[in-house]
Structure 1
Amino acid sequence: MAAIFAISALCCTAQNKANPSLTKVARKIERGQSNQLPLDAAVRTGKLANGFTYFIRRNTNPKNRVIFYLANKIGSLMETTDQQGLAHFMEHMNFNGTTHFPKNELVNYLQKAGVRFGADINAYTSFDETVYQLPLPSDKPDILRGGIQIMRDWAQGATLDPAEIEKERGVVLEEKRLGKGAAQRMQQKYFPVLFGNSRYGQRLPIGMDTVLNNFKPNTLTRFYHDWYRPDLQALIVVGDIDVNEIEKAIKQKFADLKNPVKEKPRTKYVFTLTGSNHFVKATDPEETSTQVQVLIKRQARPVKTADDYREMIIRKLFNHMLGNRYLELAQQKQPPFIYGGANVGAFLGNIDAFTMRVVANPGALENGFKAVWRETERLKQYGFTATEFEKAKRDYLKNSENTYKQKHTTYSEQYMGEYLAYFLTGTAAPGIEKEYKLTNTIMPQLLLKDVNAVVGRFNSDSNRDIIITGPDRDSANLPDEQIVNEWIRSIRQENILPYKNSFTEKALLTSQPVPGKIVKQTELGGIKATELTLSNGVKAILKPTKFSDNDILVKAVAPGGSSLYSDADYESANIAAYLVTSSGLGSYDFNNLNKFLAGTSIATGPFLADYSQGIQAAASPAELETLLQMFYLYFTAPRKDSIAFEKYISESKASLADRKNSPENRFYDTISTVLGNYSSRRTPPSPEKLNQLDLDKSYNIFRKQFADAANFTFTFVGDFEIDKVKPLIEKYLGSLPATYTHERAKDLGIHPPAGNITKIIEAGREPKATVSLKFTGDYDYSYANNLEMDAMAEVLQIRLIERLREQESGVYSPGVNVRYNKIPSARYVFSISFGCAPANVEKLIASALDEVGKIKTVGPTAINIEKFKAERSRTHETQLRANDFWSEYLNDNALNEGDVYAINDFSATMEKITPESIKSKANKYLSGNNLIKIILLPEKSTGLQ
């Protein structure tokens, strides 16, 4: 539900040349001759006699993998009054016993196949739909057959054992508990305004406690038999599979699904726009900011025809250009808001909305609101400029071209959402090639007036909702509807000037660098990479791949970071990279640099962390030279902008005002403080820390940390040829300055304190608790040890799910993870976390520690070790064919001075992981000698425990 109260950025897909061969189609579109867009030709689709639909597509990225979605046109809107929450509850029950997988055997079976519960196998329930997702290896015929059987069981094979239903009540209620807090309490006040008298306001998917606590099993069975039926279901299969074989299996498995003898009609619930306006205020003692949102609603226009597609492009151009204007507004020395923006997009169901949102500076709601509304009024009066429009079109076309070039390495996940929407809502899914052609046909026909007309279609004083939320302390100062309407009227009466576009395109570099030379080339045959050493000491590791077409990841890293500076200088060091990024680059300030890069796939930014500094970036092959020019400028000519500094101070002060209202902030601040042994570098932000900031000091720290390029290793992974990038590397990296000081990170001794420590935070009104258990200490850092620690975390995660969730019904999703590092000294933190009822805290902590104790005394079961090995082996296979994995791996090895070939020992290392080896690790690292317990409980004064 949070998405309802958020501004969603609509992405653009694009290309930059029209296709003259499609002019006739363009004329038809221009004249409004709508043509239904066909489904992607690469998809095999069909419908069985019982109404069951299927979509199958072969896609080999990732290799040997397939994704199944079972889509059901079944959601909370179908519930009767006594079933509120049972659509979601039914989703849970499909994991708790089906015809071929009784009780929890389904999860057990999938874990053996290398599929993780929650991370891989999952599902969701919404107002109109329930969707189950299952990724599987496709190179194992038995597992593939098992996956199809699971989908068949999910479609109409749930056993709904009353005992399992009773156990699952606690799990669902714990999931509901996690969502309780300030946002949920305020939603209860403004949802009736947003939803009016529609069915949506009466059937929130999470349901009602009274129903979830008390419903009888036959009430759930009735819902299941009424709605889980083939005429409302579809199976979507995308992956490295034989389409003919999958289609044959679907026909065999799903043909016998039965529709009810007396089918209940599947009512299509809609919002009815009455023309009326609504206003609501909601405050809460735990809210951390004051916000206002205005929604102007109108009937949605689904994308089904070429005309609809044209309208979609127009909206995306509109949102893109309007977003740029708000981005500029936010870069002022004293921004008028913490966040401000507006866009046109889907609201819910059959309704679209023009949504304006402001997160206000403390005590400055009027100023922030007017600043955002003023831009919409400026747009109504003058529209966008021709320069903005032409650039937006070029950007859109370029993005479409990038997408088109990557079509052969598109990940299967990217297709699933399109086919899902096609089945559930009829939204067109014509495929990448068709969309590319449509875009190139439509774009040249668009006029500036087409985009400017968008605001007019939503320029209405009717069907408008205004929602204001904030901390309780602001309740007396929040405006009423009359005052907000007066703000709007006053903006309309202002003498608003037209927008002026200050952007002038120019070269990034004013002079060309003198290239260095490659003095050494070493082939890293074991990982199919090449290491270059340049004349200035810079090292570059190059790994060309074909994992993702038209995509290159580039990173630079060196040891050092803020550890080299005193506590007094830490705050300035900590924001140094942020300030440089916010200042722009070369001759471009921040806003104009964004405009310069618009339409490219370039994403880049420097960082200065605790123990390292560097740059991380991505680009297409054609953009690599521009990207390396940016790298060159970060080292040689970073910008210093006092406006960016003042903006940071202003925003930070605003965010601090009510930060401590949030129980979650207090909880995580405590974790950081305790684990940081109360170092000032780990305590929460404060006005005193802001007073320590110095722009010149930050800038000089950045310059110093990027002064010795000889200390850096650059990694290139992706779609490139080594011989073609060598000249660029010599020119832009070989020319970087080098002092050859080769700094190393300094160990400041900021380690978690030894011993057993318990910290209890009492904050929050809701009857919910959050628990974090941290085992810490010195660590033997190595590739093999890291894998074993991961194994220990995974087997404990499996056991905690089985015990805390399935057996005790006390939590929704317990989490276990481990972090280990080598720099500045080898340390580890092994964490267990969960949310629960306050009354169950001690019992569940005892259960969790009891499972830790069992690993230490008897070790994990052999079957759980095999589950870890299956999951990690499958993950490893996929990682080896992913650019982001190799980029991170090479980067980490460079920083940690590790063995780059260690990854080749994966299989041998995995074989050595046994119940005994994990038992030994548990006794060493989970001894309990250094255990920190941090617990968030509600305030006692609320009486809600």
Structure 2
Amino acid sequence: MKFIKTIAIAFLLPLSWGIADAHAKAPTSLSQEARTILNQDTVSWDTKLPFDNEVLTGTLENGFKYYIRRNVEPEKRVTMYLAVKVGSILETEQQLGLAHFLEHMNFNGLKHFPKNELVDYLQKAGVRFGSDLNAYTSFDETVYQLPIPSDDPELLKNGLQVMRDWAQDALLDTDEINKERGIVLEEMRGGRGAQQRMRDQYFPILLNGSLYANRLPIGTEEIITNFDPEVIRGFHKDWYRPDLESIIIVGDIDVKEMESEVKRLFSDLTTPANAPKREKFTVDLINKNQFIAVTDPEMTATVGQILVKRPEEKVVTVGDYRRSLLKSAYNQMINARLRDISQSANPPFLQAGVSISEFIGGLDNLSIYFVSKPGLFEEGFKATVKEVERVDQFGFTATEFQRAVASMAKNNETSYIERDKKKSDSYVSSYLDNFLNDGASLSNEDRYQITKQLLPTLTLSEVDAIGKLYYEDINRDVIIMGPDKEKETLPTEALVNTWFADLKAEKLTAYEDNVSELPLLAKTPVKGTIKSEKAIAGIDAKEIVLSNGIKVILKPTTFKNDQILISAFSPGGTSLYPDADYFSASNASSLVNGSGLGQLNNTELRKYMTGKNVNVSPYIRERSEGLSGSSDKEGLKLAFEMIYGYFTEPRIEDDIFQSTIQKALSSLENRDSDPNFVFSEAIQKSLYNNNIRRTPISKDQVGQINKDRALAIYKDRFADASDFTFTFVGSFTEDEIKPYLEEYLASLPNLGRNEQSKDLGLYEPAKGFEKVVHKGKEAKANVRLSYYGDYKYSEMENLNLDALEGVLNIKLIERLREDESGVYGVGAGASYSKFPKNRYSFGIGYGTGVDKYESLLASALDEVNKIKKDGPTQVDLDKFVIEQKRQLETQLRENGFWLGQIAGAYQNQEDPTYILRYLDDLSKVTVESVKEVANKYLKDEQLFKFILLPDEVK
């Protein structure tokens, strides 16, 4: 198990910054503007929403704007964003793709950081390229991101200098431009496939023939390959200017000092004398309906999407904000109905959803989508649209509405409770939206109080009216995407219009909202006791043993105000069952998890959980079974009831079982059309000799899933709680949680079994080989180089292998991307396991052109051999060490990190206090120790080469 990792709890149509008017206020509990709104006897919906009074904003005389906010989560960190109101929509026909290309160039030579010195400098400070240091370009904007430590004055100063250089001082050296062409072309190549080919066909319709349809940020191969460097320099001069830029700075900083630095650095930004006007582009409504059906040989599912476009409704006033709450309620309620339909015994679609949301170019839209079962497009279409029609005719029920409002109220409360624990990054999107789109930006206090006042004023009739307004028979697009083999069966526009008319005329019945009044559990547990307690020195945790043998580790924290994370495991898993039972065993926990709990079926449970911030889910993996979840303080009792229920009152509903089987079979229908699936399947089959536990499930194997056997296996795995270990991390006290431990955990059954998981002997071959797979239309290659073998598992060995991963990542990016311009992305990854026996895997992966993959493969292995011969450079090793230190500083204040470390240590039978020694061990990693593990584990005879190439020409 990797050490520096945090455990995570828990497709359609993507359309993927002298002083004037400065104002600043010290943080207060509630802005005066909000007080005025809230103190009115009758709120005026036309009142403008107050701006966040906890951020310092200003506009320099040259038009450059800034937003600066102090926030201490995480401590000693600051995140900076530079937003530029410049995207691909501003390009001429000779500049297609240059807005995005310019974003790339801002990482390849700045005034104060020539060539690749920027990335090198920041890596030395522990900033990771791609993970921390990043940027994006869209139709209308380009945004740069730089999170850095704020406790180093020199680094903080240089971080601001990076932002200043990004704003106007890109060097745009000809040699660097020519080197970057290959990288951008590889990024373009990597995005090619079924989705891109179909998108090129439907975008002109989706975007109403507007300029947006011809301005995809990636650009064209011809322009990227051949543009004169003077063209991009002209684009940069025209558009990278202060009146179109803003800096957003949020973090553990002195706001006034930061403002002073911003004024010093950015006041000299200039705008060309004859700068072009920044026009605002729109997608105009054409007041007619449109239709297109597109297919592709590599498409794996048939998807229908209906979009009804309307003029955009910006959120500026109190009334606008209230209206956005009504839309949120509509979205919640309609999607809850569709979710229930999808879990019926014979669902009419694989998945479906409806959303009222922003679109693009000054438009909003009602989006209705569904993924059809193979050959049953009409059934999926009618079932999805019928539910929208049902709402249009009858509206929602009062109980549905009450649940939606309760859910929004709970979310509002939760957000408010955690307001002083919000991460700095969470504030940025609001300020970005304010600068780029004039969007509202409310303070934590204002948002909470205004939302709290507005929610009770919402009415069911208004939500129904919102749906009627957006669900119109005009400005409607129907887009169908499917596999080539279904081309002849897809409907025509005339037929789809007939379906709409028939559904409109059909006499539907009103929705019945059935809600159970039963409690979750059928019986009250028989309370047990705490048998023993002992402190875990150094990490403020305690180990408790209950009367039934359950071991519990408690770590109270103050990292969040109201978050409790839960993890539980027991040895065993699917390894204890024969191959004949494998598919029932491996699907047992998901079937139980989807089937309700205790006395409540799935639908009843979902409704019961509305407004509650609780989630608990069981799992059965190969070598263990257990639970994972989270809760707030209010929901802690319910979380324990759910834990108890998953042990003692599990169920698999017939409808859920049949629905799961139907969806599984449907999802397998076209997967062999996907080159990536075919490639992955070939790798797994070749490594594990077609073993059913390592290869994707087939249709025949889906048929082997038996409901009764799955439930029996589940019950067997959770029949004996005595060998379970539970970990709780978060905002609780021992006194608060101990009564629940005694009532709900200590009361669980104890059979005294002493189980251990079984070693199935599923290991990769001892000798490497090469396997080439041909699948796909695009002229691109995907290469995976892997090493597998036995391992010497120890704390230092693990750390040295992690270091090898880190330094090799640096070298592969420098060589394959920056020096050879052969890839957009390349990476190395190490993993290791202690049980059932010590094993490791080490991989290198990249995508490139078919004409380059062999030379790049040789280059990658050359970098491996350099480290084996000489070890990494001390500079690269230092980059790894500082990155680990900087990551650890923030991770130590995260509940998820501690949950992972403690639960992982107990599961691996290791010391949970290892974290106390980690930095000491990190200092022991040397050039020689990394060289040693490279020679030990990256052996030529254990190298497996997996290569995906396009279909062979016949």
Shorter-chain TM-score category? over 0.9
Aligned AA (1:4): L
Counterpart check, 1:58 vs 2:58? no
Q: Secondary structure at the match of 2:231?
A: helix
Are the aligned partners of 1:505 and 1:596 in contact in 2 as well (CA < 8 Å)? Answer: no
Aligned to 1:801: 813
Counterpart check, 1:590 vs 2:602? yes
Aligned AA (2:564): I
Aligned to 2:140: 128
Aligned to 1:240: 252
Counterpart check, 1:723 vs 2:735? yes
Counterpart check, 1:4 vs 2:16? no
2: CA distance, partners of 1:38 / 1:94: 35
Aligned to 2:385: 373
C-alpha displacement at 1:459, in angstroms?
2.5
C-alpha displacement at 1:595, in angstroms?
1.1
2: CA distance, partners of 1:594 / 1:816: 41
1:489-888 map, 5 Å = 489-888=501-900
With over 3 angstroms needed to count, the CA separation of the structure-2 counterparts of 1:817 and 1:877, relative to structure 1, is: same
Are the aligned partners of 1:294 and 1:464 in contact in 2 as well (CA < 8 Å)? Answer: yes
Aligned AA (2:13): I
2: CA distance, partners of 1:290 / 1:29: 53
C-alpha displacement at 1:500, in angstroms?
0.1
Among candidates 444, 451, 454, match of residue 439 of structure 1: 451
2: CA distance, partners of 1:853 / 1:69: 39
C-alpha displacement at 1:26, in angstroms?
6.6
C-alpha displacement at 1:235, in angstroms?
0.6
1: CA distance, partners of 2:34 / 2:89: 43
Q: Provide Cα deviations, 1:271-313, integer angstroms capped at 9, x if missing partner.
A: 1112011111100001001111110000111111111100110
Aligned AA (2:559): F
2: CA distance, partners of 1:124 / 1:366: 39
Q: Provide Cα deviations, 1:443-484, integer angstroms capped at 9, x if missing partner.
A: 111111111111111131110100011010111111010100
Aligned AA (1:234): S
Aligned to 1:257: 269
Aligned-residue CA RMSD (Å): 1.5
Q: Which runs of 5+ in 1 are unaligned?
A: 8-20
Q: Provide Cα deviations, 1:320-353, integer angstroms capped at 9, x if missing partner.
A: 1111111111110010001112121111131111
C-alpha displacement at 1:559, in angstroms?
1.6
Q: Provide Cα deviations, 1:632-682, integer angstroms capped at 9, x if missing partner.
A: 011111012121111111001101111100001111222332333431211
Are the aligned partners of 1:791 and 1:868 in contact in 2 as well (CA < 8 Å)? Answer: yes
Q: Secondary structure at the match of 1:709?
A: coil
Aligned AA (1:852): V
Aligned AA (2:184): V
Q: Secondary structure at the match of 1:563?
A: helix
TM-score (norm 1): 0.97
1:212-227 map, 5 Å = 212-227=224-239
Aligned to 1:473: 485
2: CA distance, partners of 1:489 / 1:30: 43
2: CA distance, partners of 1:742 / 1:900: 23
Among candidates 138, 141, 146, match of residue 150 of structure 2: 138
C-alpha displacement at 1:6, in angstroms?
9.4
Aligned to 1:11: none
1: CA distance, partners of 2:681 / 2:517: 44
1: CA distance, partners of 2:50 / 2:539: 44
Q: Provide Cα deviations, 1:149-176, integer angstroms capped at 9, x if missing partner.
A: 1101111110000000000000000011
2: CA distance, partners of 1:906 / 1:554: 24
Are the aligned partners of 1:674 and 1:753 in contact in 2 as well (CA < 8 Å)? Answer: no
Q: Secondary structure at the match of 2:773?
A: strand
Are the aligned partners of 1:29 and 1:306 in contact in 2 as well (CA < 8 Å)? Answer: no
With over 3 angstroms needed to count, the CA separation of the structure-2 counterparts of 1:99 and 1:242, relative to structure 1, is: same
C-alpha displacement at 1:818, in angstroms?
1.0
Q: Provide Cα deviations, 1:820-855, integer angstroms capped at 9, x if missing partner.
A: 111222111101000000111111111001100011
Q: Provide Cα deviations, 1:855-880, integer angstroms capped at 9, x if missing partner.
A: 10000000000000010110011111
Q: Provide Cα deviations, 1:352-398, integer angstroms capped at 9, x if missing partner.
A: 11111111001100001000010011001100011111121122111
Q: Secondary structure at the match of 1:670?
A: helix
2: CA distance, partners of 1:126 / 1:348: 11
1: CA distance, partners of 2:571 / 2:499: 53
Among candidates 37, 54, 60, match of residue 42 of structure 1: 54
Aligned to 2:357: 345
Count residues with an aligned counterpart: 928
Aligned AA (1:389): F
1:155-554 map, 5 Å = 155-554=167-566
Aligned to 1:16: none
Q: Secondary structure at the match of 2:655?
A: helix
With over 3 angstroms needed to count, the CA separation of the structure-2 counterparts of 1:599 and 1:366, relative to structure 1, is: same
Q: Secondary structure at the match of 1:396?
A: helix
Q: Provide Cα deviations, 1:700-720, integer angstroms capped at 9, x if missing partner.
A: 111111112111110011111
Aligned to 1:941: 953
C-alpha displacement at 1:806, in angstroms?
0.3
2: CA distance, partners of 1:433 / 1:163: 52
Aligned to 2:30: none
Aligned AA (1:44): L
With over 3 angstroms needed to count, the CA separation of the structure-2 counterparts of 1:896 and 1:730, relative to structure 1, is: same
Aligned AA (2:321): Y
Q: Provide Cα deviations, 1:108-157, integer angstroms capped at 9, x if missing partner.
A: 00000000111110000000110000110111111111100110111111
Aligned to 2:29: none
Aligned to 2:916: 904
Q: Secondary structure at the match of 1:526?
A: coil
Are the aligned partners of 1:537 and 1:738 in contact in 2 as well (CA < 8 Å)? Answer: yes
Aligned AA (1:800): L
C-alpha displacement at 1:782, in angstroms?
2.2
1: CA distance, partners of 2:710 / 2:209: 55
Q: Secondary structure at the match of 1:70?
A: strand
Aligned to 1:112: 124
Are the aligned partners of 2:208 and 2:286 in contact in 1 as well (CA < 8 Å)? Answer: no
Are the aligned partners of 2:60 and 2:267 in contact in 1 as well (CA < 8 Å)? Answer: yes
2: CA distance, partners of 1:435 / 1:100: 41
Aligned AA (1:823): F
With over 3 angstroms needed to count, the CA separation of the structure-2 counterparts of 1:505 and 1:115, relative to structure 1, is: farther
The 10-residue stretch of structure 1 (593-602 or 164-173) with the greater mean CA deviation from structure 2: 593-602
Are the aligned partners of 2:45 and 2:320 in contact in 1 as well (CA < 8 Å)? Answer: no
Taking every aligned residue pair, what percent have the same amino acid on both sides? Answer: 45
Are the aligned partners of 1:677 and 1:751 in contact in 2 as well (CA < 8 Å)? Answer: no
Q: Secondary structure at the match of 2:370?
A: strand
2: CA distance, partners of 1:30 / 1:165: 60
Counterpart check, 1:73 vs 2:73? no
Q: Secondary structure at the match of 1:701?
A: helix
Are the aligned partners of 2:803 and 2:880 in contact in 1 as well (CA < 8 Å)? Answer: yes
1: CA distance, partners of 2:682 / 2:146: 37
The 10-residue stretch of structure 1 (822-831 or 226-235) with the greater mean CA deviation from structure 2: 822-831
